[in-house]
Amino acid sequence: MSTLPVSSAGDPPVIGVLALQGDVREHLHALAESGARARPVRRPEELAEVDGLVIPGGESTTMSKLAVIFGLLEPLRERIRDGLPVYGTCAGMIMLANKILDGRDDQETFGGIDMIVRRNAFGRQNESFEAAVDIAGIDDGPVEGVFIRAPWVESVGGDVEVLATHEGHMVAVRQGAVLATSFHPELTGDHRVHALFVGMVSGGQRSAPGGGHGEVGRSR
C-alpha cells in the first residue's frame, strides 16, 4: 500500500478516526478544530485516503474483533509499518502496543510502539478520574487528562520517548510517527494534544528515527 501523502503540499492534512467503536465524534471535532480535514474510517479503501489516523478510546477487545470483521487489521498494520502517523487514546494506546497485560489471549493489536501496556490499570469505570498532566512538547501548562478505565505503560523499548507520567506510571509515549496517551484529551475542549498530532502529520515525520515499527501480535 502506498505511503505517499494524500494531501498536496500546503493543504491541511486528511486525518481519519477509526470509526469501529468508541468516542469517534469527539476526535473528529478536536481534529477539525486543530486544522485537519477529519473523516471517519471504517473500510480499507477509506484508510488508504488519509495522511494520519486516530484510534479512539472504547473497548479494545471489541475494537480488535471489529477490525478483523471489517478487513482493517492487516491493512492498518501494513500502513503503520510503512510510517503512517497514528495517535491512540486509552483503548487506542492498547491497540498500538506490541504486548498487552490482562488482555484476552486471542486479542490482536495493530502494533506501532515497542511497549507493554496493562489494560484497566488505573481501575474500573467507577474509579475514573481527571488529573493535570505535563506533556513534553506541549506548552502553556499541563493538559487535563480524563482517565476512564485507563491503561498505563509498563515498559518501553529503547526507541520510545516517554512524554508524560502520572503517579510514576507512563501515560503518554511516542515512537517516531506514532503517539499514544492513556487518557482522553478529546473530552476536555483542550485540543493541544490533537494539535501536536496534526503537526506531526503535517511535518511528514512518518520516517523519523525509530518511527512506528513496534512489532504486532497477540496479548500474552
Active site residues: 90, 184, 186
Phi, psi of 144 (to 5 degrees): -80, 115
Q: Taking the C-alpha atoms of 203, 12, 87 and 17 in order, what is their torsion angle to the nearest 10 degrees?
A: -160
State how far the Cα of 123 lies from the Cα of 27, in Å rounded to an integer: 24
Query: What is the distance in angstroms between the CA of the first residue and the CA of the last residue of the chain?
Result: 29
